[in-house]
Structure 1
Amino acid sequence: MAASPALRELQHDLESQANALSKIQKDVAKNHQVRKQYTIQLGENELVLKELDLLNESSNVYKLIGPVLVKQDLAEARANVRKRIEYISTELKRLDGTLQDLEDKQSSKRDAVLKIQQRIQAVQSGKSKS
């Protein structure tokens, strides 16, 4: 028994919605991974800033540039770390916004997939009764 054109169209719609949902889920997973990396970097930089704050103004601070340690001003080092922390915090907020959007899209796609599945079941149960 061949599937009706309406049923084939619903199955095609279901497949495309499921593929879209899968892509969104991959994007959510990628966002979580990137967010995790930024969170780790934020913690590391906050720790560095605490260490720099423990130093007195006459302390020597060195920055690793390639294989070379270069002397750096303590105030400049603190400013650089603060800028890095600010940048990472901004990126985390941006990622949170993106994640919220992705989760909203994911939820709507799930609803769409469920509605299509229900319509397919309705069409199939209508066919089995006839």
Structure 2
Amino acid sequence: MNSSSSTALRELQRDLENRANDLSKLQKDIAKNRQVRKKYTIQLGENELELDLLNEDANVYKLICPVLVKQDLAEANANVRKRIEKRLDGSLQDLEEKQHSKREAILKVQQRIQSH
């Protein structure tokens, strides 16, 4: 193996190590996201339970800026679920897409190392 080939291999190994570290950090973010998701799922269950305890003709209000606006109970139920699910699904999907991309990049670097 000549000097330039050896240098190129070291650079690829360093690149692989950096990408592996990035992937590890991302996996920790995904684990944190799952903990947050669990917390929000519990919160959603509590909110739905509280709304289920209300009579169908109960007055429910939604805070919009500094004003409380009267809202239908079924609409309030749907809004609570939609808001929490949207918050959870968007961030997890983004993290999982990044993880997939980083894994593919790592595989490409590993293949380049093996071809040396």
Give the TM-score category using the shorter length.
Answer: 0.7 to 0.9
With normalisation by structure 2, the TM-score equals 0.73
Contact 2:44–2:84 (CA under 8 A) maintained in structure 1: no
Contact 1:24–1:106 (CA under 8 A) maintained in structure 2: yes
Q: Aligned partners of 1:44, 1:14: CA distance in 2, in Å?
A: 45
**Identical pairs, percent:** 60
Which residue of structure 1 aligns with residue 108 of structure 2?
115
2:99 to 106, 112, 116: 106
1:4 Cα deviation after fit: 0.9
Q: Which of 1 and 2 has greater Rg?
A: 1
1:40 to 39, 42, 54: 42
- 3-state DSSP of counterpart to 1:48: helix
Question: Which ranges of 4 or more aligned residues in structure 1 deviate by more than 3 Å?
Answer: 82-89
Unpaired runs of 5+ in structure 2? 63-72
1:116 Cα deviation after fit: 0.8
- Deviations along 1:54-91, one digit per CA (max 9) or x if unpaired, are 7xx8xxxxxxxxxxxxxxxx63xx436x7697356414
Aligned positions, number:
102
With normalisation by structure 1, the TM-score equals 0.66
Which residue of structure 1 aligns with residue 61 of structure 2?
79
1:105 Cα deviation after fit: 0.9
Contact 1:42–1:85 (CA under 8 A) maintained in structure 2: no
Unpaired runs of 5+ in structure 1? 58-73, 124-130
- Provide the alpha-carbon RMSD of the alignment: 2.7
